[in-house]
Structure 1
Amino acid sequence: MSAPTTRTPVVLGVESSCDETGFGIVSDGVLLGQGLASSAAQHAEFGGVVPEIAARAHLEAAVPTLRIALADAGVGLRDITHVAATSGPGLATAVHVGLAAAKSIAWALDVPLYGVHHLAGHAAADTLAHGALPPESIILIVSGGHTSILHVRDLVRDPIEHLGDTLDDAAGEAFDKVSRLLGLGYPGGPAISRAAVDGDPEAFRFPRALLRAGDAPYTFSFSGLKTAVARTVETIERRGDAVPVADIAASFEQAVVDVLVTKSLRAVREKGLDTLVIVGGVAANARLRAVAQERCDAAGVELRIPPMSLCTDNGAMIAAVGDLLVRSGADPSPLGIAADPSAILHGAQLPLPADIAAA
């Protein structure tokens, strides 16, 4: 590997943890351009992501999507000074494709490579819209595969404190399953949101799990909520009545949002902070955005949510982490870095800097 460049860093980010193939280019905290492809339509008939289909789609989309990102940024491949890639967590076959592409680019250009934790990428996405994160904040990551509350200081220099996760279904996964129950299709998040527009969020009082005194304060569970929706639909159908899809969708959506916002604001209050950041695919949900804004305003808490284009998986968020790592002086990851589909979030970089130094 050649000596570090003295040019202004131009970081290419590569994301392939699930069904989006993303390439993004960031320099000094500014998003220059990105390309994004999705294989969601190929998974719709199965009601969820099929790993092998996703991996093949990543292979087919990698080069065209990279070209789109370069053209969007107005740079050439030789202008790239560093490469960052999701090395975990995610679907094993999918992560391997993007990481292999990133290694190939880094090797061909003889530039440093950074392995990035996918969830840190979601956290960094907000910096591309609203600038640097505050010295301390609570970050709610809510997506198809993850629902987590994090206590974050410096995203790339300090350890990330994991306050809580879901015990079962992630929020986005619950949206997908309920959407299937209601016959609304896949992906469930947008489908539920569209149906809920015409519904009454108070029509059904679905359960809000783990909100009682004595429950784990930052832990989520959505499996019981999903089951409650299923039983409600079965009862209505057994009576021979038409299922009020809009009302059920709105009531389910409200139940999820209540739990997400209540627990997140509890973390902000109990940690003595004043900023809540909500990121991930479900952060695009209009009801979540509205309720979170209303309750944050009432509590005197600053709410930060990136634009919808940066909520779903994308290469820009990975490039943002890479850019922060480069500017912090972090050592690059070894070119032989392995994919870690089950990576636990301790820090933004994979492997951890201490592991890199010992390699």
Structure 2
Amino acid sequence: MFDPRLLLAQRPTFRMRKPKVNRMVLALSLGCFVMVIFYFHNNLKPASEPLGERSSGQKSRRSPLQTLYDGDQVESAIQAIHQGRRELLEEACRSYTRKRRVLIPEDLKHVIVDDQHGLLYCYVPKVACTNWKRVLMVLTGVAGPHRDPLAIPANEAHVPGNLRTLSEYSTSQINQRLRSYLKFVFVREPFERLVSAYRNKFTRSYNTAFHKRYGTKIVRRHRPDPQPEALERGDDVSFEEFVYYLVDPATQREEPFNEHWERVHSLCHPCLIHYDVVGKYETLEQDSRYMLQLAGVEGEVAFPASSKSTRTTGDMAAQFFHNISPFYQKKLYNLYRMDFLLFNYSTPAYLKFR
């Protein structure tokens, strides 16, 4: 490729000897220069364009990441809320995280990938993750003809392999997606989430797998003189016994926490992964609508409305903590302290150690 500036620099010589030739060369060089600019303008893709965004004969569209940081398609009030959440999270990470380490594939097992829309979603159990998985199954085509997320059975949303996770990709593919896809997570007040997990896994008769797997162990370790039936069935674990199990140092030495009561910062690593959107369970409908707007799919799928009648609330959590001694309340708070700090949740007023 030639440099048109070289031709322009010789213009006085050509003007003196061959004016017509000079004008022809000048016009040719300028034309080539315009063609070069046009070529690069149409072939260089922005860094934030997701994989799979372009295909033969298909018009390129803005990625969710571009819409978030460069766009004006979403009302400014909710943009300001989410910018504030990002800044608070970054500040908390700087204040409370001393050591930084490199992400490994094991850290990314909860991060679901939507290559078609350029999305990475870290799912947190007991924070509307079933409905978000349903939505992503619709968006990625896994749901087949279903366009209504609620038409997908809840158990099918959790079948391994239905949705790909970031841990399944190569290192270069992981890095590319972390750079160019919009990353989002939904969080919840830590103790409300914990009580919700207890209610679902230990007080529902149909959760026999959890009763056998965890209930029998909790009864054996933390109940004085347990009855043989309780040791066998594990279906009557109290919330106090569940708390004793969580704060017992032997529990985590033996194995990692189950994902339903594992801390969000251990599941989604928010100080290692820069989340662009931090949705909250407390504003679930608003934040979910915002995410679908950013993805440009609000006309294709609607986030399911949640049933508030069975939702674990702060008042309900306070009742469960009523019989927990201040000593164990403090130990439990210390266990979940980082989730409170990173996501800007206040220490619950019902705790007695305050």
Assess same fold via TM > 0.5.
no
Structure having the higher strand fraction is 1
Bigger RCO of structures 1 and 2 (CA < 8 A, at least 6 apart): 1
TM-score, normalised to structure 1, is 0.24
Structure having the higher helix fraction is 2
